[in-house]
């Protein structure tokens, strides 16, 4: 068990009230609603996904873009690896970063107001969030990756098949549209950039290899798109390094997210 896993187990042993908050890419590795019952068995009192945080980010970004119409480029800040890359390798572009908020940070801020007595544990597809975002979270918050959570489930003998047919569901404030956030283009689609900013050209891309030449062109001022919806991992967060379902192709991971989204859409 690593330090984060041990910290989590200490929280449980102490009898802390725990809320586990999942990044929307969770569905690549876990089943819903089984994940809710499994998390409760592990020690969580509340279990939710952070899709409402994604909605808060969209609203904030759109407001910012609307009020900075003369700015040439806008780069999303939802991927901490991209933010770190811009700050360290392309400092000339830092002025184009959208306000540095993330789905996890905005949701955790919001959720903390609702549940001030809970310790909030963010479940993430990557360690970048832990490295760059956890230091900005309240000191009692913790980030576990999907892989680390799976190890905890295995250690406690908590199996998905025992929780498949339950009536468990996310705690309130889950949203339907932003379940698509962990896909390429999920941000720009759910923030409705095309509709709200028809005069600005959108670029959607993922994978550092394909993004570096674009940042170079932006640095030279020659890039002809304006709104960037970009992620460091191939295929966006569904391709995160701590997603453990490595046998699935990016297309199969995408499909899992889309199927999950449609389940809610069909029932709305
Ligand atoms: S794209 Fe990759 S590095 Fe960026 S937030 Fe998603 S999983 Fe983390």
- Model confidence pLDDT, tens digit, residues 150-194: 999 999 999 999 998 888 999 988 999 999 999 999 999 999 999
Q: What local confidence, expressed as pLDDT, does residue 139 receive?
A: 64
pLDDT at 267 over 80: no
Alpha carbons 211 and 125: distance in angstroms, whole number = 20
Q: In CATH, what is the architecture of 3-237? A: 3-Layer(aba) Sandwich (3.40)
User: Atom 8 (ligand 1): residue with closest C-alpha?
Assistant: 126
Is residue 170 within 8 A of residue 47, CB to CB? The reply is yes
Q: Over the stretch 16-47, which tens digit does the pLDDT of each residue have?
A: 999 999 999 999 999 999 999 999 999 999 99
Q: What local confidence, expressed as pLDDT, does residue 51 receive?
A: 97
- Which has the minimum average pLDDT: 88-102, 126-140, 160-174, 252-266? 126-140
Share of the chain above pLDDT 90, in %: 83
Q: Which residue has the tokens 């819903």?
A: 32
As to burial, measured by CB atoms within 10 angstroms (0-12 exposed, 13-18 middle, 19+ buried), residue 16 is middle
Alpha carbons 16 and 18: distance in angstroms, whole number = 6
CA of 84 to the centre of ligand 1 (A): 12
3-state secondary structure (DSSP) of residue 34: helix
Which of 77, 231, 238, 254 for mutating ligand 1's site (highest number of atoms within 8 Å of CB)? 231
Q: What local confidence, expressed as pLDDT, does residue 140 receive?
A: 67
Please state the rounded mean pLDDT for residues 65-90. Answer: 96
Mean pLDDT (the chain, rounded): 94
Question: What residue ranges do the domains of the chain occupy?
Answer: 3-237
Compare 65 and 133 and report the one with higher pLDDT: 65
Q: What local confidence, expressed as pLDDT, does residue 212 receive?
A: 97
CA of 164 to the centre of ligand 1 (A): 28
CA of 132 to the centre of ligand 1 (A): 11
pLDDT category at 132 given cuts 50, 70, 90 is confident
Cα-flanking dihedrals φ and ψ of residue 231, to 5°? Answer: -140, 150
Cα-flanking dihedrals φ and ψ of residue 66, to 5°? Answer: -60, -35
Q: What local confidence, expressed as pLDDT, does residue 131 receive?
A: 74
pLDDT at 233 over 70: yes
Crossing angle (nearest 10°) for helices 34-42 and 146-155? 70
Taking the model in full, what pTM does it have? Answer: 0.94
Pairing label, strands 74-75, 142-145: unpaired
The total of other beta-carbon atoms located within 10 Å of residue 70's CB is 4
């Amino acid at each position: 068990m690593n330090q984060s896993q041990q910290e989590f187990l200490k929280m449980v042993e102490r009898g802390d009230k725990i809320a586990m908050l999942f990044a929307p890419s969770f569905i690549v590795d876990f089943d819903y609603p089984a994940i809710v019952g499994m998390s409760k068995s592990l020690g969580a009192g509340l279990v939710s996904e952070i899709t409402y945080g994604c909605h808060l980010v969209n609203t904030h970004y759109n407001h910012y873009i609307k009020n900075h119409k003369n700015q040439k480029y806008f780069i999303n800040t939802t991927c901490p690896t991209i933010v770190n890359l811009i700050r360290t390798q392309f400092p000339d572009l830092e002025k184009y970063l959208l306000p540095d908020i993330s789905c996890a940070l905005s949701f955790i801020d919001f959720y903390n107001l609702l549940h001030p007595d809970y310790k909030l544990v963010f479940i993430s597809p990557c360690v970048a969030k832990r490295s760059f975002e956890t230091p900005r979270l309240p000191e009692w918050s913790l980030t576990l990756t999907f892989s680390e959570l799976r190890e905890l489930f295995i250690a406690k003998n908590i199996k998905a098949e025992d929780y498949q047919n339950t009536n468990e569901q996310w705690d309130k404030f889950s949203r339907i549209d932003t379940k698509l956030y962990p896909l390429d283009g999920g941000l720009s689609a759910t923030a409705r950039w095309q509709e709200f900013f028809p005069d600005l050209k959108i670029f959607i891309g993922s994978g550092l290899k394909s993004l570096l030449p674009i940042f170079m062109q932006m640095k030279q001022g020659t890039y002809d798109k304006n709104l960037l919806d970009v992620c460091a991992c191939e295929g966006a967060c569904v391709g995160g390094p701590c997603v453990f379902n490595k046998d699935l192709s990016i297309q199969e991971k995408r499909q899992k997210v889309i199927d999950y989204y449609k389940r809610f859409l069909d029932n709305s």
